Structure 1
Amino acid sequence: MLLTLLAGLTATPLGQLLVALVILLGVVFVGRLVLSLAWRLLFVAVVVVGILYLLTIFGL
């Protein structure tokens, strides 16, 4: 049923554009979640390395 609907949807250029935009929306959404996590990990890494650097400067 779904495959038949998708085949009918991609029969026209406008339907193909709609399918491509929906796929692009999914890719951007997943990418946004991954980048959000990456920014948090990067921030934590900078803070940890900065603290370790200050500890080595002061000889603690």
Structure 2
Amino acid sequence: MFQFGALGSPPTLLVGLIALALVILVGRLVLRVAWKLVLLATLAVAVLWVLGAVGISVL
């Protein structure tokens, strides 16, 4: 059988790589949602600023 020294056995490495892949996948999904929220917040602030600049008080 292969010896990986301090890295551990192949099944342990496989489990670690699968866990890392899941963390990256979940992170990508969270960042996708976060970007949409940032864009929506930017749009909302811009609209409120323009409305305030023309004299329409919304808040």
What runs of 5+ residues in structure 2 fail to find an aligned partner?
1-7
User: Identity, % of aligned pairs?
Assistant: 41
Query: Following the alignment from structure 1 to structure 2, what is the Cα–Cα distance between the partners of residues 35 and 14?
Result: 31
User: RMSD over aligned Cα, in angstroms?
Assistant: 1.1
TM-score of the two chains, using structure 1 as the length reference: 0.74
Matched residue, 2:46: 50
Please give the TM-score of this superposition, normalised by the length of structure 2. 0.75
- Is the aligned partner of 1:19 residue 2:37? no
The structure that is helix-richer by fraction is 1
Residue 20 of structure 1 aligns with an amino acid whose one-letter code is G
The total of aligned residue pairs comes to 49
CA–CA distance in structure 2, aligned partners of residues 49 and 16 of structure 1? 49
Q: Deviations over 1:8-58 (max 9, x none)?
A: xxxx52221111000000011011111100100110000000000011111
Unaligned runs of 5+ in 1: 1-11
Distance 1:54 1:40 in 2: 21
Moved over 3 A (4+): none
